[in-house]
Amino acid sequence: MTDYSFQAEFRDVYVDTKKATLKPFIHVLLKKQYTLHWRYEEEKVHLHINGYGDSVAIPIEKNDQGVMISFSYISILSEPLAEALEELIAVGKGQAIVKTVNEGPIYVTSFENGQIVSMMKIGEGESVIMETDRNVERYTLCTRDIDPDVQCRILQMEIDYRLMELYEAMESHDSTKKAEVKDELKELVKTLDRMLMHPRMS
């Protein structure tokens, strides 16, 4: 049964890896009883994945070294597929920004070279950027030494989320929530503008 409270958004995904890396990913999906089929084009193949409320297509391109997966955005509603795709990014030493929405806080995770380089928790009245060392499972509150481009993308995703909250507040005529979200948006936009103008100073 699909948990519709779960959603994962994958942005700016890039994985350049060996063909063999895809096999465990496909085996996991088949084991979880997803339906898979391939659509072939001249230079690309699209892996279509259906099941548990999901219907997504992942573009795969062959190159001299193996295969390349590259796409700007995919939304996933089932946790097993999201976990399998995160594992593919990690094993394939890829990069991505992943926003995970479930009951409780929202997490935005940045992958670089297969490693989690930063994680942001959004919700419960706070936003915290966490830098993580995946190898020793150590989490440290940190806003420095994170790539400015990564910080900007994370902030842009948080702004998108706050805009959704503002729309919901307007739909429900919740003036208190609307004012609260507007104030948060102003601060986020100011921070993003400052980072775009002076990326090394943020």
CATH class name, domain 13-93: alpha beta
pTM (two decimals): 0.66
Q: How far is CA 39 from the centre of its chain?
A: 25
* Residue-wise DSSP of 15-34: EEE-GGGHHHHHHHHHHTT-
Cβ proximity of 166 and 185 under 8 Å: yes
* pLDDT reported for residue 65: 79
Structure tokens at 188: 């986020």
Domain ranges of the chain: 13-93, 104-202
- Quick one: 190 exposed, middle or buried, by C-beta within 10 A (0-12, 13-18, 19+)? exposed
Structure tokens at 57: 């297509």
pLDDT (tens digit per residue) in 163-199? 877 887 888 888 888 888 888 888 888 888 887 776 5
